[in-house]
Amino acid sequence: MGNGDEDLNETNSIKQLENEQEYAASLADARITAENYVLDRFDVVSKMNASSCAVPFEEVLDVAAHDLDFHSAIWEASTVILPNLEVQVVIDAHNKCYVTTGSAGYVGEEWEKGLNLPLGLRLPIRCWIHTHPFGSAYFSGTDISTVTRFQPIMEQAYVLGGEGHYGFWEQSRPEELDVYNEGSLDYTQRWGVMGEEE
């Protein structure tokens, strides 16, 4: 009798392993699809926004970072193409876009620690955009550490918490994140001031 139970357990373990491998392969494909989707949308939006400028593309100050359609594409990559995983976008000094994906609550650990910056990235970073696919636009402790560490070389940042729900940070106000909902300022998150930390 015991031998039948062992065979059943072994069969179930093999099926579970196969399912996990299939999911991992599917997720790897979805990550590539999401990254390419964001890069394609960046290409369309940035070229459209830069077309009326008389300076070279690399010198246009805002090719896509503030574009809500671009934000929507990033959000879609995070919550539709991927199963609610964080997506991170970095736009460098030459308007080159870099995209990475992470877990449900975290993306870019090595990058956020200043390690393994994307090859070819030109400083300063014009904009860092990332999602909180659980639906809340605020800076976590990790996000605050990231903007604090990169503040001398990062001009702006967004955190996306849903369609029309985002937080905006800029270098000139390094300890504040303005959080918007449907285009209106909802509140300002502050840190670094006694009694006002997250």
Kindly report, residue by residue over 120-146, the tens digit of the pLDDT. 999 999 999 999 999 899 999 999 999
**pLDDT higher than 60, residue 115:** no
User: What pLDDT does 17 receive?
Assistant: 75
Tokens matching residue 190? 């502050």
Q: How confident is the model at residue 116 (pLDDT cuts 50, 70, 90)?
A: low
Rounded-to-integer distance, Cα 198 and Cα 195, Å: 9
One-letter amino acid identity for 75? W
CA–CA separation, 122 and 135 (whole Å): 31
**pLDDT at position 21, please?**
87
Average pLDDT over residues 103-131: 79
Residue 196 has pLDDT above 60, yes or no: no
- pLDDT the model gives residue 176: 98
DSSP state of 90: E
Beta-carbon contacts of 64 under 8 Å, excluding residues fewer than 6 positions away, are: 42, 45, 46, 49, 70, 91, 97
At 96, the pLDDT band (50, 70, 90 cuts) reads: very high
Please give the residue that has the higher pLDDT: either 77 or 56: 77
Task: Please tell me the predicted confidence (pLDDT) of residue 68.
Answer: 92
Do strands 87-91 and 125-131 pair parallel, antiparallel, or not at all (unpaired)? antiparallel
pLDDT at 105 (0 to 100): 75
